């Protein structure tokens, strides 16, 4: 091997090491199989990499399986539009550390009809695995002066009929901004699975799987 060839190969090896594991494709599709039908999402990993990576951790770990769509927020005076919300709810056994908010002013992904967006608490960096799907445009959820808004990170590419069906389900209960919006017979998320890319499970414990009545192992 000539000295020059050795230098070139050495530089190539350094680049491979520094690159680390392969990144996600620019768009990652995820299939949500629910008791109301299947919804297919296209997640924008190029423009919202942190939010997409966070959501995929829950998908790859199976943390969304057995959770629900639990909220249907219909717009007053226009009940065919609004948004539905689902995910882990308040099940602390499934929660992973949250990531920093990626506002729409940074990503350029607006809350248009079919957009998927992370729900969060007052703390802008508190999103975990509760998410909303828009039915009709919801620009009030975008970032604007004095408001950080919410992190939109993809869109529905199949199953909007299922989303609209969930939005129309009977609701009641709830408190404060969720008053009257809780789905009375929640829609179960049976499976959440990648279509694109390679699953990257976190390897963290899964305490919600312990002592479930249908598990025999």
- Report pLDDT for 22: 52
Q: Give per-residue pLDDT as tens, 3-35.
A: 444 433 343 333 333 333 457 899 999 999 999
C-alpha pair distances (Å), 21 with each of 18, 40, 199, 200:
9, 26, 12, 10
Q: CA-CA distance, 82 to 16, in Å (whole number)?
A: 46
- Phi first, then psi, for residue 165 (nearest 5°) are -65, -40
pLDDT band for position 211 (cuts 50, 70, 90): low
Q: Is 96 helix (H, G, I), strand (E, B) or coil?
A: coil
Residue range 77-104: mean pLDDT, rounded = 96
Token representation of residue 169: 């389900």
- Phi first, then psi, for residue 131 (nearest 5°) are -140, 160
- Report pLDDT for 23: 77
Say how many residues make up the chain: 217
Q: Give per-residue pLDDT as tens, 96-147.
A: 999 999 999 999 999 999 999 999 999 999 999 999 999 999 999 999 999 9
CATH number of the 23-198 domain: 2.40.100.10
Q: Where are the domains of the chain?
A: 23-198
Token representation of residue 173: 């209960």
């Amino acid at each position: 091997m000539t000295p020059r060839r050795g230098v070139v190969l050495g530089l190539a090896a350094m680049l491979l090491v520094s690159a680390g594991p392969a990144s996600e494709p620019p768009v990652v599709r995820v299939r949500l199989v629910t008791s109301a039908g299947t919804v297919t999402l296209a997640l924008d990993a190029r423009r919202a990499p942190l939010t997409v990576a966070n959501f995929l951790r829950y998908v790859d770990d199976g943390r969304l399986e057995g959770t629900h769509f639990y909220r249907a927020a219909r717009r007053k005076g226009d009940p065919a539009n609004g948004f539905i919300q689902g995910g882990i709810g308040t099940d602390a056994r499934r929660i992973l550390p949250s990531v920093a908010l990626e506002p729409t002013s940074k990503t350029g992904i607006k809350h248009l009809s079919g957009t998927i967006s992370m729900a969060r608490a007052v703390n802008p960096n508190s999103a975990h695995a509760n998410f909303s799907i828009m039915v009709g445009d919801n620009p009030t959820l975008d970032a604007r002066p004095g408001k950080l808004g919410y992190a939109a990170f993809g869109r529905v590419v199949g199953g909007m009929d299922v989303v609209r069906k969930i939005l129309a389900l009977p609701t009641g209960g709830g408190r404060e901004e969720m008053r009257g919006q809780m789905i009375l017979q929640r829609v179960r998320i049976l499976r959440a699975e990648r279509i694109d890319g390679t699953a990257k499970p976190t390897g963290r414990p899964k305490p919600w799987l312990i002592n479930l009545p249908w598990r025999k192992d």
